[in-house]
Structure formats: C-alpha cells, structure tokens
Structure 1
C-alpha cells in the first residue's frame, strides 16, 4: 500500500457509501453462506447447489439491461434507494420463510432468491454507475472501484465466518434475520448523502430495443471494453463457478461442518480482499489489462493446487492465492469498462457487462454442479484451473497483438 491507496475516502459521499455498503454486505454474505449450507444439507445435491446460485444470478442477467436503461434515464441515487428498501423486505420474507415454512424451505429459498435476482437487475447498474458521482476528482475512479471491491471482499471474508458460527450456535433464522437488520446501515448512509440530481444525457423517448442496440454499437467500437467483457464472460462461464462447490469441499472432502464452510468462504474473501487492496495501490496509468491476464493465470495456478490438495490447511492457502488472482477478473474488468465508457452510455454498458457476468456464472454453476456429480468436485475444479490458465494465456497474446497493431498504425 502507499499514500494514494485510500485517496477516494476524502470524498464524503463515497465514505458514507462505503461504510453503509460494508455493513449491509456482511449480512448479504451471511445469507449467501446460509443458503448454500441449508440447500446442500437438506438435499445432498450438488445440482441443487448450482440451481440455488442460478436462481439468484440469472434473473439479474435478464433484468440488468432494463436496469441499465433505467439508470441512464432516471436519477441513479433514487433508484438505488428504492432497490435497497425492496431488498430489505425480501430479506424479511426470507427470514419468515425459514421460520414458518421448514418443510418446503428449499423451494422458498429458490423463489425468494429469484426475487432478489430481479431486484439486483435494477440495483447493480444504478449502484455501479453512481460511484462516479460520489467522487470529485474523476481520476480517483479506479481507486474508488478498487476500494469498493476491497469492501465487498472484506465482507466476504468476515460474513461467512460469522455465518458459520451463527448457524451452528443460533440457527439459520438468526443468520437470515441478521441480513435484514444490516439494511438499516445502508439506508441510513444513503439518506445522509448529498448528491446533485443526475443530468440525463440522452433522450428517454427511444425504444428499449434502440437503446440496447446503441449500447452494443458503442461496445463494438471500443476494443478495450469489448475484449474485457468477452474475457469476463468466458471466465464467468468456465472458471468463476468453482465457488458453487465449496459446500462439497467443506462437508465431503474435509469432513467439516457449517463453520468449515464459513472458513473456506472466508479465506476466499481474504484472498480477494488482498487482491483488491493490491489493485487499489496501483499507480495511475498502470496497464490494467496486463495485470488482468497475469492475475488470472495466478488464479488458475491456485485453483489447480487447491483442487488436488487433501490437507485442509494447505488447501486454504492455495484457495487464498487463487482468490487473490480471481479478484482481477471482477474488479479490473469493471474498472476497464467504467474508465473507458462515455457517461451517456454508462448505465447501459455497465448493465451489459453485468448481464454477461450474471448470466454466465449461474449457467456455469449448473454445469459445474452437474459435471461434478459424475467426475467429482476435485476433478471438476482441476479442469476449471486449466481453463483459467489457458484463457489468461490467450488473452495476453491478444493484448500483445493489439499493442502491435496500434504501434503499426
């Protein structure tokens, strides 16, 4: 770290946003851990684990393009406030379902997860595109995005560990209820912000189809954004869904309990947090695309050793290493998109990026869950590790080819 690592905190609005989201995301990761553990404990099905992930993420993919258009047409702050209030009610419903509908709880969880996915389809584009409005010096945008990712992953480090303890000692209802309570923090932080009304940069009388086509045309004309989104999609489909199998590693391979799952997910968060802090410490002007390719290769190496290690403590070490590299896939690609997109297209382009990520990961989760049923979780993750290294290698070759093409021109 260096003196510029925390530059974005000099902006009051960003500091409020950061603190509120940090508390809320603790609850979010507690709920995610509880969902995975509950579904696998009841069904003993790797496929159902994949379906539970699919139920949350795929509706986000379907609705995010509409969310991006809404984020470009209307005030992003207001949209975020509304989606957070609705998310609070969803968390309350999830808690009540766990308490009163034990017999059919898996299907209640899947249904309410799908509802959350729809909400996130509108929430994520507004939240991501609002970050620019929270900082005064726009050159701090990459730093703000990296710090935002560090907050997400610090909560992923702490949240699952707390969830494992709460699940064992207090039960699943308390775990789900904690998520509902956590929304108080984010709503309070949003209400304390003072953000100028968003300037609408394009006409709202265009059809949704025309607005979507305009955004796609912009992406096609920008090779940097296009390649980052394609790389994200391939990694999201083939590699990132390895996390679907963490309950299998915790319960079947390491013979552990809910606390074991909490520790595993927590170390994924630790590695990702360290990766995000590394990215926040990069100097302005650093070639992010090369960092993305190299860290993705590191992601694959870590996964390879994790998949083949039966020693719990060594596996945790390699998983942390993998998660350090994995962070670049989610953070640098997002930064590349945000830094290179015109504000007129910001909401829609971000929504297309999110649509690619949130559609490929759930499809990949179902594939991973199904394939691992036949060849085992360790072999499945080994294959994903090899694919990560191949994709990183091809992406680096592409970047060098593009650099040579630009030099020739």
Structure 2
C-alpha cells in the first residue's frame, strides 16, 4: 500500500497534532510504568506488592469508566481531556519530586498510582470519544484508530528501552521527571487544535440517568454488545498471561531477565506489525469477522505457549500473541467507533474501556491464584482454552446474526 494511504488520517491537522503530542507523552508514560515497577521492587522485593500496585492503578477503569462516559456525553469532551492531561502531568511531577527529594514511600506510590488510575478513567474515555472529531474525513476513522494503536505500541517498545538506560545511569527519579515534561507536548498540541465541536444538548436527567440510558442502548445494540463482551472475556481471561511471564522465563526456559525482556519485545513487535496492518485495511472490511480471527490467534498462541519448552518457538508464539491481542483490541475499538450513535458515543466507549482495561486487574489476581495452586503451564492452558471457547461462541453469534438478517431481507423482498 502507498504511504499516502497508510497514513491518510494524518492529513487532518487536528489529528496530526494529537498524534505528535500523544506519541511524545506515551513514551514518557511507558518510562514511568517501568520505573514504578522497579521502584516498588527495589523498596519491597515483593512480587505480591508489584501485583497490588498494578491492581490499584487499573481497577478505577472498571469502577469509574461508565460515570466518565456519561459525563463526557453531557459536557465538552475536549475540556475533560485537557483537564485530565494537566492532572496526569501533576501526578507525574509529584512522583518525580517524591523520589528526587528522597521522600519515597510505598504509601506515596500507592496513593499516586490510585490517583493516576482515576485520572485515566476520564482520560481514556474522553480521548477515544474525541477521536471522531479530530478527523476531517470520517471514512479515515478506522485508519486513525489503527495508527493510534501503532503509536502506542511503538512507544511501548521505545519507552521501556529508554527507561532501562536511565534507570542504570540516574535512577527512577529522572524517568518520572521526563514523564512530567512529556505532558508539555500533548498539552501544547491540544491548545493548537482548531476544533468545531457540535454543541452539547442540555441533559434533563442526572448523570445516573445517563448511565442507565447508555446501558439500555448497549443492550439493544446486540452487535456492539457482542464485540465488547468478547473483548471483556479476552482481557480478563487471556491478556493477564503477561503476569506469569517472569515465572515462565525462569522456570520453563531456565533463563534470566534477558529472556523475559526478549519475550516482551516479541509481543511488542507482533502488536506493532498488526497495528500497521490494521491501518492499511480498507473501510469495507468485515471488522467483526477479523476480530473473531484475531481473538482465536491470541488464545491459540497462549495455549500453544503453555506447552512450549523451546525458546525460539516461544518467541514466535509471543509475536503471534501480540498480533492477536492488538488485532482484537483495535477491531473492537474500530467497530464500536464506527457503529455507535453519536449521542451515546462516550457512554458506549466507556464500556469498551471497562472491557479493555477494567477487567485486566481482576484477571491478573485470578491468574496469580491459579498459578500458585495449579502451576504456570496449566494456568496458561486454561487461559488459552477459555479464550478459544469465547471465540467459538462469538463466531456462532455472528452466524446467527447474519442468518437472521438474511431471513429479514427475504421477508422484505417478498
């Protein structure tokens, strides 16, 4: 495909600004994630505490996302996104100050991680909802979503690599400070945008009424609901495989952190390649069928990895897992964004955020408990099997929906 078509959504000035600022900020975000994990382990030497801090940082997405969605549908999404970016910058600054000035404590890390999790619930929902307003040609929306995914994964590769160097040279404080500075780029990009947002209609009901109407809409939109439910099962039951990778690298491959890093890098490479493929897709592609295929690839790769004892094979399977994971996420996002009613956009996207991010910490806890009692390989096999079962159920649902649509079309013609 020609580069002009692959990057066609970048023709929109507002999206170009968003893409540039967000990319710089995401590099800082991934640096912060690596630095927090290193800081927590350095302070506690506890794998359990690592899991707890991760849980605290992600669980707000499950609790607050529906409220954030209802709020975004009632108020200016741009303003909510801008406020969330400023709040994230202040959180990073507080983390940097705590470490640089020697005030570090686990209480401080937990409080700031929880604060970032709450901010992210509003940030992710408003950012995803605003995406359609950044594109001049709405047919470029799937391309914009895919390019956003490729940006996230490239930052996922670059950020931890930079963090590893800086941790060796100057420690965690510098990583947090660079993350603090990276928000300047995204804030400037937001200020430079020229948005023509439709005025928000005055809402008669409360935010709770908005939550209920969003839920009722999703119940009626069975195609969107099915895609989100598949993502929820995959996110809770398959995606937490990553929690067990350090154990698998050490006990199965009898290796050190270099192999663990290589496994993670392969996941990133696979995800990045899939994001580029998604960006090149034509607008008329059957996204739900592709989502079904990608979830099958993801779950199948994890199931095979559970029985793998050959490192090159394991690295290849991690590439497939990364591609399948990214394909599932990107397809769900694309389908929801292109099929949801505009007045329900933020509320429905909030359920997507719940399925994508909010279920992962619950799954991580269950996976850790299972691994402790059943072993790592058995747990990974169970995860892959559940993912494949969900994919089969989704495929049967798609067939049933198509048969129903075909029957209704015959009735209309008759």
Deviates more, 1:134-143 or 1:177-186: 177-186
CA contact (8 A) 2:71 2:207 kept: no
Which residue in the other structure is 1:221 paired with? Answer: 220
TM-score by length of 1: 0.92
What residue in structure 1 maps to residue 187 of structure 2? 187
The answer for the alignment partner of 1:234 in structure 2 is 233
Q: Decide whether the 8 Å contact of 1:160 with 1:265 is kept in 2.
A: no
The 5 Å alignment of 1:266-277 reads 266-277=265-276
User: SS of the residue aligned with 2:367?
Assistant: helix
Q: Report the counterpart of residue 390 of structure 1 in structure 2.
A: 389
Alpha-carbon deviations, 1:261-311, whole Å to 9, x = none?
554433322211111111111111111111111111111222233334344
Shift of 1:88: 0.5
1:78-97 aligned at under 5 Å gives the runs 78-97=79-98
Task: Quickly say closer, same or farther: Cα 1:134–1:332, change in 2 above 3 A.
Answer: same
SS at match of 2:272: helix
CA distance in structure 1 between the partners assigned to 2:243 and 2:169 by the alignment: 24
- 8 Å Cα contact 1:68/1:347 also seen in 2: yes
In our comparison, the structure showing a higher alpha carbon Rg is: 2
Written as runs of structure 1 = structure 2, the 5 A alignment for 1:120-159 is 120-159=120-159
Instruction: Please say if 1:379 is aligned against 2:369.
Output: no
* Per-residue CA distance 1:84-123 (angstroms, 9 max, x = gap): 0110011111223334567733x43222111001111111
Matched-pair contact (CA < 8 Å) for 1:49–1:244 = no
Aligned residue pairs: how many? 406
Comparing 227-236 and 266-275, the one that deviates more: 266-275
State the partner residue of 2:329: 330
Does the Cα contact within 8 Å between 1:75 and 1:198 map onto a contact in 2? Answer: no
- 1:110 and 1:9 map into 2 onto residues whose CA distance is 38
Offset of residue 207 of structure 1: 1.1
Q: Partners of 2:141 and 2:274 in 1: how far apart? A: 17
Q: Distance in 1 between matches of 2:25 and 2:262?
A: 20
Runs of at least 5 residues in structure 1 that lack an aligned partner in the other structure = none
1: CA distance, partners of 2:180 / 2:129: 25
Tell me how far 1:44 sits from its aligned partner: 5.0
Q: Contact 1:27/1:178 (CA < 8 Å) preserved in 2?
A: yes
Q: Which residue of 1 aligns with 2:76?
A: 75
Using the TM superposition, name which of 395-404 and 129-138 deviates more.
395-404
RMSD: 2.2
| 2-structure distance, mates of 1:380, 1:41 | 28
Instruction: Name whichever of 362-371 and 90-99 sits farther off.
Output: 90-99
| Aligned residues of 2:98 and 2:104 also touching (Cα < 8 A) | no
- Deviations along 1:43-73, one digit per CA (max 9) or x if unpaired, are 4544433322221111122222221122112
- Residue 224 (structure 1) shift: 1.1
Instruction: Quote the offset at 1:251 in angstroms.
Output: 6.0
